[in-house]
Amino acid sequence: MEDCRRGQPHSSEPLMQAEQPMPSVSDRSESSPSPIRDSRAAHLRLLAQVAFRMVLKRQITPYKLLNCVLNFAYAVRRRPAVTALPSMIEIDINNICNLKCPACPTGIGEHHKVNGEMSYESFCQIVDEVKDYVFVIVLFNSGEPFMHKDVCKMIEYAHAGGISVITSTNGNFFHVGDHAERLVRSGLDVLIVSISGVSQDVYGRYHQNGKVDRVIAGLRKIAQAKRDSNVATPVLMLRYLLFDYNHSELDQARQLAREVGAQLNIRRAGTREDYHRLKAAMLSERSADAPPVTNHCYWLWSLPLIQYDGDVRPCCILNLDPPDQGNVCRDGGVAQVWGGETFREFRTQMLTDKSKIPSCRNCTSFPGLQDANIRKLLRWRSR
């Protein structure tokens, strides 16, 4: 869900990626009791709200549920098989951005693909194919979705197909014209707005080229448009990227979140140095004292990432260059890739020896939770 929650390398610092949990860092802020608890509570509230709305909108069908359960069962039973399609997909409709955040590959021009965007037609084709299976589309990864001229049309299309949509933005777009109103009308379920301060001086250190006044005005306009239309969506999440230098503006961010009716999500953020250091560490050989990793990863059975050109990655941790599994435009659609031989072999490799996969060998994302749980359950049943 919102949380395509990713684990961390054996380090407490974050690599920047689409969705990752707050790493287990100690809270350095004296003024706020527990930003980390704030973050977890915000995620849980968000999950509950999204699930509740999906029930109300009848987006949770028995067929989708069965599909989800089956894929989970394959993962738990350590089978490389999957059903026809996943229950969630992540679509990165572009890798273009208006800002230059220094720890973001897109912001610093180090994205591994040339700049590009997905066409509206390709997006609709994907939605048509997956809509009977998929609960949620996570509509962001490495770019700024609101740089795409058709983003609201895309959200509308997915929404009309009975799929919930979650996206994340730097929020420099909604202060002008009728952008806020169009966003609200699109049916978007969750909007994450990333900030790193509430004064321009502090905000501009990370969100380079961004204008915090625009973000704040945009948030207010979205909140107003929701009130005018008497709708509760998009649910707003204000994501505060926490660096050493911006703890002092956390309380103001809390106030802003309250004012616009947003959940506050405080995420310990990586610097550019963290980004390069950790990337190297994760790709290195495993050291003898590294914590054990299980030959498993639930993401391979649950949440593929489709890039703007149709290439499919097994997970969203693009920094580590997980191998392509095929292309939905060239190889006959999402089902052909998801259930295809390449992806199946990759799952088999994962279940057999994760240490042979350079992008995965140090990753502790979903550290075999599914195995631990099933073993516990079986022990409990045999009592």
Ligand X SMILES: C[S@@+](CC[C@H](N)C(=O)[O-])C[C@H]1O[C@@H](n2cnc3c(N)ncnc32)[C@H](O)[C@@H]1O
Q: Which residues bind ligand X (CB under 6 A)?
A: 14, 16, 18, 97, 101, 103-104, 140, 142, 144, 168-170, 192, 194, 239, 241, 267, 269-270
Taking the complex as a whole, the smallest distance from the CB of residue 270 to ligand X amounts, in Å, to 4
One of 4, 101, 216, 250 touching ligand SF4 (CB under 6 A) = 101
Identify what 325 binds: ligand X, ligand SF4, none; CB under 5 to 8 Å per kind: none
Binding partner of 269, given ligand X, ligand SF4, none, CB within 5-8 angstroms per partner class: ligand X
Q: How far is the CB of 100 from ligand SF4 (least distance, A)?
A: 6
Check binding of 106 to ligand SF4 (CB under 6 A). Answer: yes
For 172, the token pair is 């420099």
143 sits near ligand SF4 (criterion: CB under 6 A): yes
Closer Cβ to ligand X, 133 or 203, answer by number: 203
User: How many other CB atoms sit within 10 Å of the CB of residue 314?
Assistant: 25
Find the shortest distance in angstroms from Cβ 260 to ligand X: 16
List, as one string, the DSSP characters of 241-299.
EE-TT-GGGHHHHHHHHHHHT-EEEEEEPP-HHHHHHHHHHHHSPPPTTSPP--S--GG
Name which of 18 and 264 has its Cβ closer to ligand X: 18
In whole angstroms, how close is the CB of 144 to ligand SF4 at the nearest point?
Answer: 5
Q: Does 14 bind ligand SF4 (CB under 6 A)?
A: no
- Name the minimum Å distance from CB 233 to ligand X: 18
Q: Is 104 in the site for ligand SF4 (CB under 6 A)?
A: yes
Using the rule CB under 6 A, is 137 a contact of ligand SF4?
no
> Count of CB atoms within 10 A of residue 367's CB?
17
String marking each residue 107-136 x if it binds ligand SF4 according to CB under 6 A: x-----------------------------
Helix axes 179-186, 212-229, angle to 10 degrees: 50
Choice between 93 and 130, CB closer to ligand SF4: 93
Kindly tell me which of 98 and 352 has the beta carbon lying closer to ligand SF4: 98
Output the smallest distance, CB 53 to ligand X, in A.
21
Q: In the complex with ligand SF4, which residue's Cβ is closer, 97 or 212?
A: 97
Residue among 166 and 334 whose Cβ is closer to ligand SF4: 166
Inter-residue long-range contacts of 255-262, CB under 8 Å, 24+ positions, other chains counted: 256/198, 256/216, 256/219, 259/220, 259/223, 260/219, 260/220, 260/222, 260/223, 260/236, 261/223, 261/226, 261/236, 262/193, 262/219, 262/236, 262/237, 262/238
Alpha helices in the chain (DSSP H): 35-56, 62-76, 120-130, 151-160, 179-186, 200-206, 212-229, 250-260, 272-283, 334-338, 341-352, 369-381
Site for ligand SF4 contains 253 (CB under 6 A): no
Q: Which of 4, 46, 50, 99 binds ligand SF4 (CB under 6 A)?
A: 99
Question: Beta partners for 327?
Answer: 311
218 binds ligand SF4 (CB under 6 A): no
Residue 239 binding target from ligand X, ligand SF4, none, CB below 5 to 8 Å by type: ligand X
Site string for ligand SF4, 161-180 (x = CB under 6 A): ---------x----------
Q: How far is the CB of 13 from ligand SF4 (least distance, A)?
A: 17
Spatial CB neighbours of 270, under 8 Å, sequence gap ≥ 6: 13, 14, 15, 16, 103, 278
Closest-CB residue for ligand SF4?
107
How many angstroms separate the CA atoms of 271 and 275, rounded? 6
Give me the half-sphere count of Cα atoms (radius 13 Å) on the Cβ side of residue 235: 22
Give per-residue burial for 145-184: e unless 16+ CB within 10 Å, then b.
bbbbebbbebbbbbbebbbbbbbbbbbbbbbeeebbbbbb
Calculate helix-pair angle for 212-229, 250-260, nearest 10 degrees.
20
Separation CA 182–CA 166 (nearest Å): 16
Q: Least separation, in Å, of the C-beta of 230 and ligand X? A: 27
Binding residues for ligand SF4 (CB under 6 A): 97, 99-101, 104, 106-107, 143-144, 170
